[in-house]
Structure 1
Amino acid sequence: MVGRGIPASALALLLVAGPSVAFAPAAGAVSPANPARCAPPRGGAQVGESWGQRRLAFTGVWPLTRGDGVTVAVIDSGVDTRHPQVRVARSIDLTGTGPQDCVGHGTAVAGIIAGDDMREIPFAGVAPKVRLISIKQTNSETGDVGLLAKAIIRAADLRADVVNVSIQANDAPDLKSAVDYALSMDVVIVAAAGNIKKEDGTPAPAYPAAYPGVLSVGSAGPDGKRTDFSNATTPVSVLAPGTSITSTWPGSGYRQDLEGTSYAAPYVAGVAALVRARHPNLDNVRVRRRIEITADGATGTGTGAGMVNPLLAVSEILPSEVVAIAPRQPDPLPPGVVRKAAPPDLQAISLATTLTVVAIALAALVTAVSLVVPLGRKRGWRPGRAKTAGE
């Protein structure tokens, strides 16, 4: 499936074609003294709703959130800011070649994450209301791992909530340090698990997807199963649509034949943005955990928790999370606010008891007198006698 011979797709897929390719030195590398001609493959004017958009049904989440208030950084080949469906808040170029997208890959990734919902256009991104930052770290199908590390750090310093890295590289100390730094800044890092081809030989894990704490994304087909080209050696968190994908393309165009884990990752980045918008109290660990727990489930190597489920990821009530994010209990009242009860007055209690007994005795005496006096007067105060026989 990787080698279908589609020029635009092939060029874009080299960004995640494998560790031996993604960051190898490129012949005729771009530099200020050797500027590149910016001519990305042409897209088409036709656009439709891809199976991936129908399968994930993320528009059903929009009544709850569209990603408002969340910043997503796209580390890629740049983004065509002139595309009517892609709104970029800030473009940063680390290559010295300008922020424009000369490959097409970055524009497609940005469209999947945040393509604007426009009337009469069936395509839309997962989280169309997020704030997009484009960080360009390559001007071709290959790039430099050092620039990738710098791009991740830059995204964290810009307070990105989610970072999409649809690029794979070898393990490198600078890259690992950059990932650790971003995770410590509470960034959700979403990365492509990488693509493999038969000629690649023995597959190796792709980075940064293979680093602990990164939300690694594999590719699935319409049947929900992992596609053959999705790298199963990389630890995978979830799957997302990664073949026959539709998205935006430079020149205000579209592609409807994109494939690769690099196009699966932005679906999950969009879902992560929706979760962060709906549950702002969740840190990056719990956002990743929520997306994994609510996935559709799968079996087999390289499938992780299965196909990502946007609606459940946003709306599911997780018992452990309810406890974790419950409102903080109020602080105890300061000393002295509530007075202590006074100790019992034993003398008063004793006096009250005595008076009660005396009162009861007096009442009994009065009652007795009221009964005896009338009887005594009636007999003239003569003592009574017993009756004799015959009386």
Structure 2
Amino acid sequence: MRRRTTLLLCVSALAAVLPGPLAHAADGGGVALPGIPERLAADQKCTSHKGRTTPDAPWTRQALSLDQVWRLSQGRGVSVAVVGTGVSDSPAVLAGRVSALGDAGHDCVGRGTFQAGLVAGATAPGQGFSGVAPQATVLAVRGTGTRGEPDAGRLAAGVREAAEAGADVITVTAPLDGADKAVRAAMAVAAREDALVVVPAAADSLPSGTAEAPPAPEAPATALAVLDTGPQGGRPDGAPRHRRADLSAPGDALVGPGPVGDGKWTGSGSSLAAAVTAGAAALVRSYHPDLTAAQVRARLLDTAYPGDLPALDPYGAVSGVAPAAAPPRAAAADPVRLPVPPDTSGARVTAYLVTAGAGGTILLVAALAVVLPRGRSRRWRPGRPAQ
């Protein structure tokens, strides 16, 4: 009892100084990890806590069969853009593999670094954590204000900038509105540059002080919209609503790095599920470099676990059969004319006569086979009449 009380006091003390809420890792290890913030208040300082170290593997490592798929692909040669609060390369799991556009190399909030870790965090001795594509590189692109303030125009501009910079896969920190003119223009650039855009199908959380909010806007048709699920396969109670989702992926109680040090944090939301899916897309693009972005998108959907909403299967996406090419269109041709069958009535009559004659011959031979022996035994005398 004394040990439990001491633990609760420690947790309470940590909660008072950390920028985000504490949450327990869902890997069964029981380690209390700080919650990575989505944005910071105006009077809040940049995230400086180093998180908590844990050797336990997150639940996603087994759920996604990562050790199995890494035998085939680890994302080498693929660039994944994270459009959000920025990405810090301070954590060892990201060191040396992050490049940035503008000021996106500084992450005051920590959310973008956490997302980048989910995408491409490296494996390291003594830790169970790793991103989905641990050999991919990360391109940091600013998509929010420096404190994580939502900015739809900056988010759309970030997608365009990431595509023009050569990113193979792009993931964003908030839903995109497919009806927005700037978003449509950014998606056109991504299509031209053959970049796959992976977006959250819902917001990560409800606005402060609200019990319910309108569903997120419908994502662009060519983007891959992903919805978050937890260790049990469902969404948390009260999770933000969505209009359309193409795929589900782990997004609840995830573990990843923060912007400072090598400790781990926890977080939830559809943007994190999108980051996990972007990592899977990197695995596919590395293993199948000839596939286009549209073919990678189709492959992720075609190989997903079936259900009301298909569930991401990285191993199936990498090792499965590639989407078949569309069959060539047949050339126009004249209508087929069937040949007129020949008149065979005469042949049929002849066949009937031959069959009848053969049948008669058989009957005659059978009758003779019975009559002749009897006639011979009686020496051809007539039989006695019946009395």
Same fold (TM over 0.5): yes
Matches within 5 A, 1:115-264: 115-138=121-144, 139-168=146-175, 171-195=179-203, 197=206, 199=210, 201-206=212-217, 210-264=219-273
Shift of 1:205: 2.7
Secondary structure at 2:210 match in 1: helix
Matches within 5 A, 1:1-391: 7-8=19-20, 12=36, 14=38, 37-87=45-95, 88-93=97-102, 99-138=105-144, 139-168=146-175, 171-195=179-203, 197=206, 199=210, 201-206=212-217, 210-299=219-308, 304-305=309-310, 307-318=311-322, 320-321=323-324, 323=325
Q: Deviations over 1:290-313 (max 9, x none)?
A: 1011111222xxxx32x2001001
| Counterparts of 1:256 and 1:297, CA distance in 2 | 31
Secondary structure at 1:233 match in 2: coil
Cα distance change on mapping 1:101 and 1:312 into 2, 3 Å:
same
| Counterparts of 1:68 and 1:267, CA distance in 2 | 16
- Answer whether contact 1:43 1:250 (CA < 8 A) is retained: no
| Counterparts of 1:68 and 1:202, CA distance in 2 | 40
Secondary structure at 1:191 match in 2: strand
Q: Deviations over 1:160-191 (max 9, x none)?
A: 10001122355532122112221232110011
**Match for 1:221: what amino acid?**
G
| Counterparts of 1:188 and 1:56, CA distance in 2 | 21
Q: TM-score, normalised by structure 1?
A: 0.68
Shift of 1:284: 1.2
- Answer whether contact 2:225 2:246 (CA < 8 A) is retained: yes
Question: 1:370 — aligned with what?
Answer: none
Shift of 1:40: 4.5
| Counterparts of 2:314 and 2:162, CA distance in 1 | 24
**Match for 1:234: what amino acid?**
R
Question: 2:382 — aligned with what?
Answer: none
| Counterparts of 2:257 and 2:238, CA distance in 1 | 23
Shift of 1:206: 3.5
Shift of 1:118: 1.1
**Match for 1:205: what amino acid?**
A
Shift of 1:220: 0.8
- Answer whether contact 1:163 1:189 (CA < 8 A) is retained: yes
Of stretches 285-294 and 254-263 in structure 1, the one that deviates more from structure 2 is 254-263
Shift of 1:230: 4.6
Cα distance change on mapping 1:262 and 1:41 into 2, 3 Å:
farther
Shift of 1:45: 2.5
Cα distance change on mapping 1:37 and 1:220 into 2, 3 Å:
closer
Q: Deviations over 1:58-81 (max 9, x none)?
A: 221112111111111111111121
| Counterparts of 2:278 and 2:298, CA distance in 1 | 14
- Answer whether contact 1:244 1:256 (CA < 8 A) is retained: no
Cα distance change on mapping 1:291 and 1:130 into 2, 3 Å:
same
**Match for 1:298: what amino acid?**
G
Cα distance change on mapping 1:262 and 1:40 into 2, 3 Å:
farther
Secondary structure at 1:218 match in 2: strand
| Counterparts of 2:260 and 2:37, CA distance in 1 | 19
**Match for 2:85: what amino acid?**
S
CA RMSD, 1 decimal: 2.9
- Answer whether contact 1:226 1:239 (CA < 8 A) is retained: no
Identity of aligned residues (%): 29
| Counterparts of 1:69 and 1:27, CA distance in 2 | 38
Question: 2:362 — aligned with what?
Answer: none
- Answer whether contact 1:9 1:257 (CA < 8 A) is retained: no
Cα distance change on mapping 1:53 and 1:159 into 2, 3 Å:
same
Unaligned runs of 5+ in 2: 1-14, 23-34, 328-387
| Counterparts of 1:111 and 1:65, CA distance in 2 | 17
Secondary structure at 2:119 match in 1: helix
| Counterparts of 2:134 and 2:75, CA distance in 1 | 7
Shift of 1:137: 2.8
Shift of 1:231: 4.4
| Counterparts of 1:9 and 1:76, CA distance in 2 | 21
Question: 1:340 — aligned with what?
Answer: none
Unaligned runs of 5+ in 1: 16-25, 30-35, 326-391
Shift of 1:154: 0.9
**Match for 1:106: what amino acid?**
G
Shift of 1:148: 1.4
Q: TM-score, normalised by structure 2?
A: 0.69
Shift of 1:287: 0.6
Secondary structure at 2:256 match in 1: strand
**Match for 2:151: what amino acid?**
D
Question: 1:367 — aligned with what?
Answer: none
| Counterparts of 1:229 and 1:286, CA distance in 2 | 34
Cα distance change on mapping 1:231 and 1:212 into 2, 3 Å:
farther
- Answer whether contact 2:89 2:98 (CA < 8 A) is retained: no
